[in-house]
């Protein structure tokens, strides 16, 4: 039973996607970022 629950947990976590987050300010804009990259500007209020 425990084996089946472990397998189920692995199957449910498999499709999760990771993305990239870039922390920067307006004076140092990132270059060559992908479309799914999240950019967080630290100098915004």
DSSP string, the chain: -HHHHHHHHHHHHTT-----EEEE-TTS---S--TT-EEEETT--
> Does the predicted TM-score (pTM) go above 0.85?
no
The pLDDT value given to residue 10? 66
The pLDDT value given to residue 27? 92
Residue-wise pLDDT tens for the chain (45 aa)?
777 777 766 666 555 566 888 999 999 999 999 888 899 999 876
The pLDDT value given to residue 14? 54
The pLDDT value given to residue 41? 92
């Amino acid at each position: 039973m425990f084996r089946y629950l472990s397998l189920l947990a692995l199957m449910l976590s498999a499709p999760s996607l990771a993305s990239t987050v870039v922390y920067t300010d307006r004076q140092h804009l990132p270059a060559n970022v992908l479309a799914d990259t999240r950019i967080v500007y630290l100098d915004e209020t």
